[in-house]
Copies of this chain bind each other. A is one copy, B any other.
């Protein structure tokens, strides 16, 4: 059975928490809130930005360009910490948006300071969380900078499947092609075409908002996917 707190669950996979550590985390993470799809949790420029844990649903961090284009920087799934990197800065650089209805829990910015002072173990775990976020960003740079559309998309889907720890064949993807395009630096039209390419190649099957990857190894090979950067505890739970 899981606790009330998704961050404790997540951290307990990585280390043994003392009762004091758990109390500290629980004290911080008690303000659970509901946000509906499309809602903005935190705007660009917000002063003294908080960070959030995401207990259920999907969210993302976004930036807008002057000409109206969007770039999605991170996709968040349940169990992740959102906006941790921006806590230290005086204002938020990205917008946090709910992509589905979500449950999330805001942490006031200065609670981080408290953790630093009271628990070096939790500090280390937060560091690791941030390091993983950074590894995801780097992998995305690889993806956008050096792979073509079809490969990019395949890589994206594989990453999400592993990050969601999805064991079943079929997985729900509650993101429309326009959002996928904004995440991968391509147009929604090209996402559509890349989808059908993958289908024609026999690597992908789709059904409404569900997809399944026919052969994980073959697809990983096709797009150069290597899960090491995800630091996954293992694919088979």
With the chains together, A200 CA to B50 CA distance in Å? 45
With the chains together, A85 CA to B73 CA distance in Å? 18
Asked if A234 is an interface residue, CB under 8 A from chain B, the answer is no
A88 partner residues in chain B, CB cutoff 8 A: 124, 127-128, 131
A-side interface mostly: helix
A73 partner residues in chain B, CB cutoff 8 A: 138, 141-142
**A71 engages B134 (CB within 8 Å):** no
A185 partner residues in chain B, CB cutoff 8 A: 141, 144-146
Shortest Cβ distance from residue A79 to the other chain B in the assembled complex, whole angstroms:
18
Question: Which residues of A75-112 have CB atoms within 8 Å of chain B's CB atoms?
Answer: 85-89, 91, 93-94, 112
Chain A positions within 8 Å of B, measured between CB atoms, are 63, 65-66, 69, 71, 73, 85-89, 91, 93-94, 112-113, 116-117, 120, 123-124, 127-128, 130-131, 133-135, 137-138, 140-142, 144-147, 184-185, 224, 228-229, 231
Q: Which one of B65, B94, B124, B140 contacts A224 once the chains associate, using CB atoms below 8 Å?
A: B65
Shortest Cβ distance from residue A64 to the other chain B in the assembled complex, whole angstroms:
10
Q: Which one of B89, B113, B117, B124 contacts A131 once the chains associate, using CB atoms below 8 Å?
A: B89
Having A93-B135, A130-B130, A130-B134, one finds 10 other A-B pairs with CB under 8 Å, namely: A63-B138, A65-B147, A65-B224, A71-B146, A93-B229, A116-B124, A117-B120, A123-B123, A134-B137, A145-B184
